[in-house]
Structures are given as C-alpha cells and as structure tokens.
Amino acid sequence: MTAFVLVHGAGHGGWCYKRVARLLRQAGHEVYTPTLTGLGERAHLMSRSIDLGTHIQDIVGVIRCEELSDVVVCGHSYGGMVIAGVAEQIAATIRSLVYLDAFVPESGKSLFDYLPAEQSAGMRADAAQNGEGYKVTPIPAAAFAVNAKDAPGSTRCASSSHWRHLSRSSYSVAGRCGSARTFLPPAGGRRRFSNSARA
C-alpha cells in the first residue's frame, strides 16, 4: 500500500481527483485530496493574505497530521509549485514527486515567470478590475478541454485564484530534495504549461 497526496491546480479543489482517488483506493492505496485554502469548497476562506506559502503549509500539515511517510505527492498545474515547496520542507517523508502537466519551478521563480508577460499582466488587470484587487477570475473549463460530462461540475466548482499565490517565488528547491521526480504530460502529449518538464 502506498500513500498518495494529490494536489490540485489554481481555481480547483480536491474534488477534481475524485475518479483517480476512487481507483487508487480500490487498488488498496491510501489517498488524500486536500483543497488548498481559499480555493474550491474553501473559497469562503479566500483573503488577501493567502499566497504560495499558505498552500505549501496546507499540504505539509496534511502529511504531518496524518503521520504519512514514504508518500507520493502529485501536483497538477499550479500544484507543481506547491509540491516543490513541500519537498523543500519535509523531503524525508516523501518517496516521490509527480508533476502532472504541472509547473516545475526553478529556485526563486514564480508561476508568473513562466507565463507570457501579456497573460500575467492580464491576470493582474483582471484582479484589479473584477476581483477586489487580488482575485483572478477562474479559467473556464473549455480552456482545459475538459470533457463534456465533467465540464459543468468543473465550471460550477471553480473558484477565483489569488494573484499573490501565482506571483510569489518558489523556495530554493533545486537539488535540495532527494525524492524521485516523475513528469507526466497531459493526455495526447500536448503540454498546457510552458515549463512543464520534458517527459
């Protein structure tokens, strides 16, 4: 049996892993799908103070409080930024990191550093105009080619992201975690994120 912690991307929640979690549990594994503070069903907790560090602590807290060890930690999209920071803090508890069509940060880089300048500027402008100065409008399910069956739920449960958790630099992760790292591109091999690792 293996323990898995599955970390979603910005604007989503742990619910997005529902099918995967069910399959892993049926295979006898232990699975945790926490929702990051201020996102998904925890959107009511969104505040100006939330940033990447908050989300790293969310996952560190799950691993510590559930007394997990030799755990596989998987991050999708923005979740790659989160799991890199988790590995920096508690590397000894982690068997491997899985980057699922995710951003793979270099030390000192933020997610905005990997986006085209016009896209990050557009997100900041959106937050200023529509999101009380800090909330970014959720990206529609269609932008991610979500299948017709899942698109309504994905759209219904999507939440605003905080531009600070997208703009905060990662911790010094390069070379500091001895865990194995696995990189998985999306189905069909088309990478959605400019710095997704080479598969």
- Just list the catalytic residues: 77
Beta bridge partners of 100: 76, 184
Both tokens assigned to 149: 């069956």
Residues 6+ apart with CB under 8 A from 102: 9, 75, 76, 77, 78, 79, 80, 81, 83, 193, 196
Instruction: Calculate ∠ Cα 110-113-119, nearest 5°.
Output: 115
3-class DSSP state for residue 195? Answer: coil
Which one, of 178, 135, 142, 181, lies nearest residue 159 by Cα? Answer: 135
Chain CA centroid to CA 5, Å: 11
Instruction: Calculate ∠ Cα 49-66-35, nearest 5°.
Output: 40
3-class DSSP state for residue 162? Answer: strand
Q: How many helices (DSSP H) and strands (DSSP E) are in the chain?
A: 6, 7
Run of H or E residues at 166: helix 163-167
